[in-house]
Amino acid sequence: MKYKRPRGTQDIVPPAVHIWREVEEAFKRTFEKHCYEQIRTPIFESTELFERAVGEQTDIISKEMYTFTDRGGRSLTLRPENTASVIRAYLESGMHRRGGIVRLYYIGPMFRYDRPQAGRYRQFHQVGLEAIGGASPAIDVEVIETFMITLEELGFRGLMLKLNSVGCRTCRGPYRKLLLKALDGVREVLCSDCEDRAFKNPLRVFDCKRCEGVKEKLPTILANLCKDCRAHYDAVKAALEALGRSFEEDPYLVRGLDYYTRTAFEVIHGDLGAQNALCGGGRYDDLVEQCGGPPTPAIGYSAGLERIISVLPKDSPVLREAGVPPDIYVACVDEGGMSRALKIASLLRSVAAVEADFSMRSLKTQLRSAEKSGAKIAAIVDSSSRDEILWKNLAERKQVGVPDGDILDFAKRTLAASKEDGA
RNA sequence: GUGGGCGUAGCUCAGCCUGGUAGAGCCCUGGAUUGUGGUUCCAGUUGUCACGGGUUCAAAUCCCGUCGUCCACCCCA
């Protein structure tokens, strides 16, 4: 094989692509029921947008970007996530002047130069949404619910929702000092990575899998929230409880992107291996302002389609969708009937899905293929019977001759009849 | 970027340890029915054994390197 797909990418081929489409549709249905509208932003953006929005210290920016220089000398980057682009587009198209909450969703490929692993790809696909301009804890819950509801519709049960608050500008400052002090006290027992983190992004020490014993000795942001953040967090919890939505409070849940404030959440799944997050998100109340807009609170999340699809429950309704079989399979027996078969297939397509076989294989083989395709009818075209075709009902194993001129009417009648039988 | 497993037919894999010119099942094609499908039976096609180098009379098999893939670290969807 001369060419292979680039490392960390995937071809989504039938029949898997049908599952993908069903999952995407499920999300779209939920989003649109909640009055979120789709937004499509460019696959690449100026590198600076990501650096500024996502945070220069993050791994995504410091080592995982697909960055290139275009012919005009501009530094561009394949989007590693979509929130920055959405906020850029929100401001650039003047949506911030609409007033009220702007609800947007997206779906599409993202790119990160990581080493591929279970549930991790260089080109991967996310669905996500952003609710921009809403400060109420109720919006947080609305956003979380769109994900939980959709996954339940896909057949998931008993998902683990993890919840935390990472505070805001007011509480982060004092907390940071507190944390740094505590980190200083445990410096000797920190792993080498965490020694670095302690400087660059102290909160991320909580993410470390090796420093398990250390965490208990450190103050959590959750225990040091300012009054407003505390009230917001408590209100989110109360609203989730009122909806009967179970969750687990995780004071160690911190997220890898710098722009998060207050509510942070993740939904994890046990069968995913090390990359166990199906979805991650939270509030980013300062990002719009940081990007040059007016102060605007916002919240969003993104979910990994590969990961969701890889752990779909066995009884998921979408696993039943294997594509639409043809209604009619046109079998062409000899070269002489070819152009007539083409014409008949084309005619039939005005009322049905038609698969045409021009392989000139034996009729036996063509009928075998017809049956395998799931078609109800095989239309056999043979140049020796010049003005009629054989119309074979594959389930009943019966066939009749139909004059060319009557084919369309005949097709309409039999297909309508078989639909009634089927229903 | 670091570590480990794996790479043989379109697919799933055996063979590798103990070197001797490559196998099974599925799929596919033709036939048994001088064009009519589920099953069965008969016959047939499947390959630069990932790539490059080395050892050897001889390498799918042993050794080294490269690439790919999977898993883990890191990080995240």
Protein-to-nucleotide distance from the CA of A118 to the C1' of B16, whole angstroms: 28
Give the closest residue to A407 by CA, choosing from A348, A346, A333, A334.
Answer: A348
> What is the rounded average pLDDT for all residues in chain A?
91
Protein-to-nucleotide distance from the CA of A276 to the C1' of B16, whole angstroms: 37
Report the percent of chain A where pLDDT is more than 90: 65
Q: Which nucleotides of B are covered by protein (CB under 7 A)?
A: 1-3, 28-31, 33, 35-38, 67-77
Q: Which nucleotide is closest, CA of A63 to its C1'?
A: B1
Q: Which nucleotide is closest, CA of A401 to its C1'?
A: B36
The pLDDT score that the predictor gives to residue A397 is 87
Q: Which nucleotide is closest, CA of A301 to its C1'?
A: B77
The pLDDT score that the predictor gives to residue A139 is 98
State how beta strands A160-165 and A261-268 pair: antiparallel
Q: What is the pLDDT of residues A347-395, one digit of tens each?
A: 999 999 999 998 888 888 899 899 888 899 999 998 877 789 999 999 8
The pLDDT score that the predictor gives to residue A423 is 45
Q: What is the pLDDT of residues A8-44, one digit of tens each?
A: 998 888 888 889 999 999 999 999 999 999 999 999 9
Tokens at A182, concatenated:
């505590």
Protein-to-nucleotide distance from the CA of A272 to the C1' of B72, whole angstroms: 13
CA angle A156, A122, A162 (to 5 degrees): 35
Tokens at A377, concatenated:
């009818």
Q: Which nucleotide is closest, CA of A119 to its C1'?
A: B77
Q: Which nucleotide is closest, CA of A83 to its C1'?
A: B77
Q: Collapse the DSSP code of A290 into the 3-class scheme (helix H, G, I; strand E, B; otherwise coil) and give the result.
A: helix
Spatial separation of the C-alpha atoms in residues A264 and A280, rounded to whole Å: 8
The pLDDT score that the predictor gives to residue A49 is 96
Q: What is the pLDDT of residues A91-115, one digit of tens each?
A: 999 999 998 999 999 999 999 999 9
Tokens at A409, concatenated:
């009417």
Q: Which nucleotide is closest, CA of A385 to its C1'?
A: B35
Protein-to-nucleotide distance from the CA of A344 to the C1' of B23, whole angstroms: 47
What is the separation, in whole angstroms, between the first and last Cα of chain A?
47
The pLDDT score that the predictor gives to residue A306 is 95
Q: Which nucleotide is closest, CA of A371 to its C1'?
A: B37
Give the closest residue to A288 by CA, choosing from A134, A420, A151.
Answer: A134
Arithmetic mean of pLDDT, A222-248: 96
Arithmetic mean of pLDDT, A150-171: 94
Q: Which nucleotide is closest, CA of A302 to its C1'?
A: B77
The pLDDT score that the predictor gives to residue A254 is 87
- A175 pLDDT more than 80: yes
Spatial separation of the C-alpha atoms in residues A47 and A51, rounded to whole Å: 6
Look at A48-62, A281-295, A312-326 and tell me which has the smallest mean pLDDT: A312-326
Q: Is A396 exposed, middle or buried (0-12, 13-18, 19+ CB in 10 A)?
A: exposed
The pLDDT score that the predictor gives to residue A415 is 86
Protein-to-nucleotide distance from the CA of A18 to the C1' of B39, whole angstroms: 31
Q: Collapse the DSSP code of A72 into the 3-class scheme (helix H, G, I; strand E, B; otherwise coil) and give the result.
A: coil
The pLDDT score that the predictor gives to residue A387 is 86
Spatial separation of the C-alpha atoms in residues A186 and A362, rounded to whole Å: 78
Residue A420's pLDDT band (cuts 50, 70, 90):
low
The pLDDT score that the predictor gives to residue A321 is 67
> Phi and psi of A355, rounded to 5°?
-105, 130
The residue whose two tokens read 């605007």 is A296
Protein-to-nucleotide distance from the CA of A2 to the C1' of B53, whole angstroms: 22
Tokens at A256, concatenated:
């890898």
Protein-to-nucleotide distance from the CA of A346 to the C1' of B38, whole angstroms: 29
User: In CATH, what number does A328-422 get?
Assistant: 3.40.50.800
**Domain layout of chain A by residue ranges:** 16-168+226-319, 328-422
Nearest residue (CA) to C1' of B2: A115
Protein-to-nucleotide distance from the CA of A397 to the C1' of B18, whole angstroms: 59
State how beta strands A354-357 and A298-304 pair: unpaired
- What lies within 8 Å, CB to CB, of A421 at 6+ separation is none
Protein-to-nucleotide distance from the CA of A3 to the C1' of B63, whole angstroms: 30
Q: ipTM surpassing 0.90, yes or no?
A: no
Spatial separation of the C-alpha atoms in residues A166 and A252, rounded to whole Å: 10
Q: What is the pLDDT of residues A194-231, one digit of tens each?
A: 777 777 778 888 877 777 677 888 899 999 999 999 99
Report domain A16-168+226-319's class: alpha beta
Protein-to-nucleotide distance from the CA of A209 to the C1' of B72, whole angstroms: 13
Spatial separation of the C-alpha atoms in residues A282 and A140, rounded to whole Å: 8
The pLDDT score that the predictor gives to residue A82 is 97
Protein-to-nucleotide distance from the CA of A411 to the C1' of B31, whole angstroms: 34
